[in-house]
Amino acid sequence: MLQVSFIRENKDKVLEGLKKRKFKEVELVDSALQLDDQRKRLQFELDEKLAELNSVSKEIGALLKNAQKELAEQAKSRTADLKNATQSLKSQLEEIEENLLQVLYLIPNIPAPIVKEGGGAEENEIVFQSHEIALNSTGLLPHWELAKKYNLIDFELGVKIAGAGFPVYLGKGARLQRALVQYFLDKNVDAGYQEVNPPHVVNEASGYGTGQLPDKEGQMYHVGMDDLYLIPTAEVPVTNIYRNVIVEENQLPIKNTAFSQCYRREAGSYGAHVRGLNRLHQFEKVEIVRIEKPEDSYEALDEMVEHVKEILNELELPYRVLRLCGGDMGFTSALTYDFEVWSAAQERWLEVSSVSNFETYQANRLKCRYKGSEKKAQLVHTLNGSAMALPRIMAALLENNQSPEGIVLPNKIARYAGMEIIN
């Protein structure tokens, strides 16, 4: 979340950033400042009362020592009044601080200067495209038909077991899925990321730490009895490793990668565009997470973008990179690049990765800081990206590599899967 001190010192910048996002509840900015004013007034009054209480308490001892019993009793009565007053002020202060926190939770991050104003996906900027795309899907089968033809994925069986959006991978389909996971992890480890195997459920504090709560509460599966949430991405548990942590400057950058199942309710997602693997309630993904010094974070973001490009090049898939406009970015992001691969049979682009810099927005929620040479703790910058999400990668691999003989796998994955063709 934004620091209230930042909002106060940069109100015009904050409002301009919210305008880029087409954010409508700009009155929250003034609400936050008003609550902070109230908080300061209460804190000042409380400090005065506590100072007076301390002073009067010291007087009592001196009065008793000088046998001024009546004055001592009056002082004791005054301390009782002061204790009641300070308790009341503390309660009011706690309420105001909680109200301020809840308002700050509702204000999204401010987009980086390079982000353009926009209200949705149609206003995103294409910054790179690997291939020219020719529309010629004649004779090509969509991945859900290929999956059935070669007995790779059983969507109906998933419906029987759990419901729509929970596919069952079979035989060579499961083998290809496993090969992709291993390849992504190896690729990330070779790039200097430490592999982490995190929990697949998180508590409420973790959800608030990375910004899934309260923004995406309705999109997460909630285990009510235990008050836990199934993770929508490994970003949540991995980033929360550093909640309430102060790291030393020489520990930075911190680079982690993790494979996990991801669970998303995807409420309201219907239609042909979500058929097959296009949108699922459970899917597999390999994530990369970085903790950086503020001055290094945008160079790190560029490195992450190039890293994902390299993966897609090795998968031999046509892809493009988009810089998201303000209105299409996630709530917590300052700058996001989306990667989309071309679906040959569907003749449409499928998002397979998002790489984002959150600057201090998550770190402020997490209270994740670092100590530099001045020994003064500062907020870090957090970044994360998909490297990669599997369902649409699988869909694109099947559709773009189909031939009369079968699915001819790219060389890199063929080595991992131990098979060159699926037939």
CATH number at residue 31: 1.10.287.40
> What's residue 269's pLDDT?
54
CATH number for 237? 3.30.930.10
Q: How far apart are CA 408 and CA 103, in angstroms?
A: 53
d(CA 319, CA 397): 12
Residue-level pLDDT at 272: 54
Q: How far is CA 265 from CA 230, 232, 280, 375, in A?
A: 10, 9, 8, 44
Q: Is 219 found in the same domain as 342?
A: yes
Residue 282: inside a domain: yes
> Where among 105, 137, 160 does a domain terminate?
105
pLDDT given for residue 268 in this prediction: 54
What is the span of the domain harbouring residue 28? 4-105
384 known ligand binder? yes
Please tell me whether 336 is known to bind a ligand: no
Encoded amino acid at 390, one letter: L
pTM of the model: 0.92
One domain for residues 99 and 143: no
> 287 a known binding residue?
yes
Q: How high is the pLDDT of residue 57?
A: 78
Q: Does residue 309 sit within a domain?
A: yes
Shared-domain flag, residues 245 and 338: yes
Do 146 and 261 lie in one domain? The reply is: yes
The reply to whether 236 and 313 lie within a common domain is yes
Domain end (from 105, 140, 155): 105
The answer on whether 353 is annotated among ligand-binding residues is yes
Alpha helices in 222-288 (DSSP H): 235-239
Structural domain includes residue 115 = no
Let me know whether 348 and 381 are in one domain.
yes
**Residue 265 among known ligand-binding residues:** yes
Taking the C-alpha atoms of residue 423 and residue 406, their distance in angstroms, rounded to an integer, is: 5
- Same domain? For 92 and 145 the reply is no
Q: Which residues of the chain have pLDDT under 50?
A: none
Phi, psi angle pair for 334, to nearest 5°: -100, -30
Q: d(Cα 359, Cα 366) in Å, to the nearest integer? A: 12
The last residue of one of the domains, among 48, 73, 105, is 105
Same domain, 296 and 217: yes
Number of domains in the chain: 2
Task: Judge whether 264 is annotated as a binding position.
Answer: yes
Q: Could you tell me if 389 and 333 lie in one domain? A: yes
Kindly give, in sequence order, each residue whose CB lies less than 8 Å from that of residue 390, ignoring residues fewer than 6 positions away: 177, 180, 181, 283, 284, 285, 286
CA distances 365 to 168, 301, 361, 377, Å, are 37, 21, 7, 15
Asked whether residue 420 is marked as a ligand-binding residue, the answer is no
352 is in an annotated binding site: yes
Give the number of C-alpha atoms closer than 13 A to the C-alpha of residue 11, restricted to the C-beta side.
10
**Considering the domain boundaries, does residue 407 fall inside one?**
yes
Q: Please give the full DSSP string across 66-126, using - where no structure is assigned.
A: TT-HHHHHHHHHHHHHHHHHHHHHHHHHHHHHHHHHHHHHTSPPPPPTTPPP-SSGGG-EE
Say whether both 191 and 128 belong to one domain.
Answer: yes
Say whether 354 counts as a known binding-site residue. Answer: yes
Rounded Cα–Cα distance for residues 421 and 406 (Å): 6
145 labelled binding-site residue? no
> In terms of domains, do 146 and 19 share one?
no
